Chains A and B, each alone.
Chain A
Amino acid sequence: MSHSPTTIPEHHPALVHQFDSMEQQREASTFGMWVFLLTEIMMFGGLFAAYLI
């Protein structure tokens, strides 16, 4: 159920419901992508380490 924050600037069309602002949304998405990349590093790093050992 979408919701407009009562006191904040208008609703950007791309703002999804769980975030309060586009800035928060962008920051969270960027951070999330870095965390995901970290998991991929662990995965492939593990693969390469296994091959080398």
Chain B
Amino acid sequence: MSTAAQTVKPVMPARHYLNDNYGIRSWLLTKDHKRIAVLYLFSITFFFFIGGIFASLIRLHLLTPNGELFQADTYNKMFTMHGVNMIFFFLIPSVPAVLGNFIIPIMVGAKDLAFPKINLMSWYIFMVGAFFSLYAMVSGGVDTGWTFYTPLSSGFVHTNVILMAVGILFAGFSSIFTGLNFIVTVHRMRAPGLTWGRLPLMVWANYAASLIMILGTPVLAITLILLALERGFHIGIFDPKLGGDPVLFQHMFWFYSHPAVYIMILPGMGVISEIVTCFSRKRVFGYAFVAFSSIAIAVFGFVVWAHHMFVAGISVYSAMVFSLLSYAVAIPSAVKVFNWTATMYKGSVKLDTPMLYALGFIGLFTIGGLTGLFLAALGLDVHIHDTYFVIAHFHYVMVGGMVMAYLGGLHFWWPKMTGKLYPEPVAKLAALITFIGFNLTFFPQFILGYMGMPRRYAMYSPEFQVLNVLSSAGASILAVGFILPALYFTWSLKYGEVAGDNPYKATGLEWQTTSPPPTHNFDVTPVVTEDPYHYGAEEEVTVVP
């Protein structure tokens, strides 16, 4: 373990997890959480680009109102597969399976996760699911929308619904096993002295997300199985002609899929806590509040599902309960945003690339989250439900929020994972391009939605065209913003400057080991005596007004 080298140029450690063992078997049969994280990195990057290609085609098609580029059926398949890919094969695994897998064992001072073989199996299950999904895509596609509403999906389309459902089922189990691993690891494998109150917020956030993963995903599994049975064997659970209830599908589907969005965002919030503290050289403001907000979001997230169904035929009284609870779930997120902002106050702020992404997250997630309040307002939701307003809202939180958090985390921990630095000026430029492209793409969609443009429309009324063209223009810029990191990260592997153990002088156990870390993470299990984010140890100031 080399000391922080200010005067001496850092060198790569001689042995580390990447060069400890060579050969394809050592990768495909690895039990090392770090290698598994890298395997996931390749997989989900691949699916991000597949989903991105569909997005580009969609925005191209929507340049004109008459749907001249693709047939309606093709367009319907494209938005379905864009959604399925991005949600199940990119967003849900992204931070937990890549960054979480890599960093969390090290952050808690462990040599690996609790169940390394289950971790590897989780990746294989993911790949099986990915295979089914890809096969479903290339052999005809699916055109039900990623939400698979019945009875359309159970009896009216002739596309590969069951194949795709199987793919998602597998991806779901991958998620369950990752969550299980995290929970046991955090409970049972913390280093001596690392109490719950000293855990980095990245761990709290991923722990909360893991709770949702293990409790919610099984319901998705059942929903998909029942959908497949209905479609294949007509068991009569969702088909009204057989005595079933199509709205039951919606309840079951959203019971998972609403908490799923918190599975997606909570780990991202964890990343933001790590970045904002490091690049303000400050402990986080209100640690306990941020930690418990993660848990609160996970808990409340389970009781708001029917806010997707306000016009679907639920009773007025149910709707009121779900609307009220939806406002409750927004509050902990707001608390986090305020705490992160307060963390910068009287800090020592440096706007390196990870910090740019984190600040972008804070701004865009705030907008996205606030537009959720529009949708939770019953009387207003009647108008904007199933319009582009919803699309804009969730892209603000998922792309402006989650993807930026993922990219920020990737930039923050890239030196730790690879031992190399990415080129900072290009990275900053890419962050800026992404921010601009993103806003130009999705802000017009709020307006389109309020104007009444419904979602999932292959053709639209001509008065919507100007805003659609703006949005598509933005998408082309956003695409550049996403492609650049793929290029310069790859470049950095060979040509990047050597990073050294702790290029950002961050606290956290992961920075106390080499970059890249040795396979077993620590030679000796560390003992933790300090709070997380113990920046400025010499001047501890507690402010209690």
A and B touch in the complex (CB under 8 A): yes
With A3-B520, A31-B187, A35-B184 known as contacts, the answer to whether A50 contacts B226 (CB < 8 A) is yes
Contact B20 A1 (CB under 8 A): yes
With A1-B520, A18-B111, A53-B248 known as contacts, the answer to whether A42 contacts B184 (CB < 8 A) is no
A21 to B245, CA, bound (A): 53
A13 to B520, CA, bound (A): 18
Partner of B180, one of A5, A39, A46: A39
| 0/1 string, A16-53, CB within 8 A of B gives 1 | 01111000100110011001101110111011001101
Contact A24 B189 (CB under 8 A): yes
B residues 93-121 in Cβ contact with A at 8 Å: 105, 110-116
Residues of A contacting B237 in the complex (Cβ-Cβ under 8 angstroms)? 50-51
Residues of A contacting B214 in the complex (Cβ-Cβ under 8 angstroms)? 35, 38-39, 42
Residues of A contacting B225 in the complex (Cβ-Cβ under 8 angstroms)? 47
A47 to B223, CA, bound (A): 8
B144 at interface by CB-CB < 8 Å? no
With A18-B112, A18-B189 known as contacts, the answer to whether A43 contacts B184 (CB < 8 A) is no
Q: Which residue of A lies closest to B184 (CB)?
A: A32
Contact B215 A39 (CB under 8 A): yes
Contact B218 A17 (CB under 8 A): no
How many residues on the A side are at the interface (Cβ–Cβ under 8 A)?
A: 26
B72 at interface by CB-CB < 8 Å? no
* Minimum C-beta distance from B398 to chain A (A): 25
With A24-B189, A32-B180, A53-B248 known as contacts, the answer to whether A43 contacts B519 (CB < 8 A) is no
Contact B112 A28 (CB under 8 A): no
Contact B520 A46 (CB under 8 A): no
B525 at interface by CB-CB < 8 Å? yes
Partner of A3, one of B111, B218, B226: B111
With A39-B180, A50-B248 known as contacts, the answer to whether A28 contacts B114 (CB < 8 A) is yes
Contact B252 A42 (CB under 8 A): no
B221 at interface by CB-CB < 8 Å? yes
B63 at interface by CB-CB < 8 Å? no
A17 to B188, CA, bound (A): 15
Residues of B contacting A19 in the complex (Cβ-Cβ under 8 angstroms)? 189
Contact A17 B219 (CB under 8 A): no
Residues of A contacting B114 in the complex (Cβ-Cβ under 8 angstroms)? 18, 28, 32
A3 to B112, CA, bound (A): 12
Most chain A C-beta atoms within 10 Å of own C-beta, residue among B181, B188, B252: B188
Contact A43 B111 (CB under 8 A): no
Q: Which residue of B lies closest to A3 (CB)?
A: B520
| 0/1 string, B237-261, CB within 8 A of A gives 1 | 1000000010010001001000000
A6 to B524, CA, bound (A): 8
* Minimum C-beta distance from A47 to chain B (A): 5
| 0/1 string, B382-394, CB within 8 A of A gives 1 | 0000000000000
Residues of A contacting B180 in the complex (Cβ-Cβ under 8 angstroms)? 32, 35-36, 39
| 0/1 string, B177-188, CB within 8 A of A gives 1 | 000110110011
Residues of A contacting B111 in the complex (Cβ-Cβ under 8 angstroms)? 3, 17-18
Q: Which residue of B lies closest to A28 (CB)?
A: B188
Q: Which residue of B lies closest to A27 (CB)?
A: B188
Most chain B C-beta atoms within 10 Å of own C-beta, residue among A24, A43, A46, A53: A46
Contact B219 A43 (CB under 8 A): yes
B222 at interface by CB-CB < 8 Å? yes
A24 to B112, CA, bound (A): 13
A17 to B113, CA, bound (A): 10
B residues 198-240 in Cβ contact with A at 8 Å: 214-219, 221-223, 225-226, 237
Contact A18 B113 (CB under 8 A): yes
* Minimum C-beta distance from B4 to chain A (A): 25
B176 at interface by CB-CB < 8 Å? yes
Residues of B contacting A51 in the complex (Cβ-Cβ under 8 angstroms)? 237
A6 to B523, CA, bound (A): 9
With A28-B189, A53-B248 known as contacts, the answer to whether A17 contacts B184 (CB < 8 A) is no
Residues of A contacting B223 in the complex (Cβ-Cβ under 8 angstroms)? 46, 50
Residues of B contacting A43 in the complex (Cβ-Cβ under 8 angstroms)? 218-219, 221-222
* Minimum C-beta distance from A37 to chain B (A): 11
* Minimum C-beta distance from A46 to chain B (A): 4
A53 to B183, CA, bound (A): 32
Residues of A contacting B221 in the complex (Cβ-Cβ under 8 angstroms)? 43
Contact A18 B252 (CB under 8 A): no
* Minimum C-beta distance from B321 to chain A (A): 18
A53 to B243, CA, bound (A): 12
A46 to B114, CA, bound (A): 28
A50 to B525, CA, bound (A): 48
A36 to B179, CA, bound (A): 10
Contact B520 A40 (CB under 8 A): no
* Minimum C-beta distance from A53 to chain B (A): 6
Most chain B C-beta atoms within 10 Å of own C-beta, residue among A18, A19, A50: A18
Contact B218 A1 (CB under 8 A): no
Residues of B contacting A50 in the complex (Cβ-Cβ under 8 angstroms)? 222-223, 226, 237, 248, 252
Residues of A contacting B113 in the complex (Cβ-Cβ under 8 angstroms)? 18
7 intermolecular pairs with C-beta atoms under 8 Å apart = A28-B114, A31-B184, A31-B188, A32-B114, A35-B184, A39-B180, A44-B222
Which residues of A are at the interface with B, using a C-beta cutoff of 8 A? 1, 3, 5-6, 17-20, 24, 27-28, 31-32, 35-36, 38-40, 42-44, 46-47, 50-51, 53
